[in-house]
Structure 1
Amino acid sequence: MLRPWGKNCHPKERLGNQLLRAAVVLAQELDKLEVGWAWEQPSQSFMWQVQDLISPLHSGPFYQTTFDWCRYGRKWRKRTTVIGRFPFLAEFNALCRGGHEHLVLDGGLWDQTESE
């Protein structure tokens, strides 16, 4: 059974769920003010599976893009999805075409020198 909210037993998981709820409220308030917004998460993030929160945001003009960072000069692929109210988002669809190595990202602390 899919549990995008998790089991709610880890502090970081609870915090992530609280932040997601707050982001949805913020997006809804920005919609009322007709102010654009965008969310970015890895494409495999559980956030995209929380349909009871994400679905209401699909009302009105809604745009989505998915891209791999290597297509924009980074050494890693990290497929990423962005949703929001900006029509230009679709222009950034760009998936890896292969033919090169990727730096493997492994959570934890990030060393910027590895990304340059």
Structure 2
Amino acid sequence: MSPLLQSLAGQVAISLQNARSFEQSRAQADLESLVNAIGQKVQRATTVEDTLQTAIRELGLALGATRVSANIQASSQQDARKASQNSPRREQVPSIEFYLSSMHYK
């Protein structure tokens, strides 16, 4: 292969790598922007219920889920006692499970 073709091939390879890197950087920036926007909306909620509803709605929209639900369960009293024995300052925190589903029908 001639030096001119080798040089041209090298430049094309560098250009392709730069384009890939740019796309990856842009996708990462878009993701971080989305996470920031969701976080701001959640922080503006004034009640636990509003916080949960906002989080569910925004996560569902971001992920394109057709159905989103959450299940909140308080820890059992036995678990709460164990937690208070291990860390007397720790409050009982409910566990939250999110269920997201996305079904696309043609």
TM-score (norm 1): 0.26
**Structure having the higher Rg:** 2
Greater share of residues in helix: 2
TM-score (norm 2): 0.27
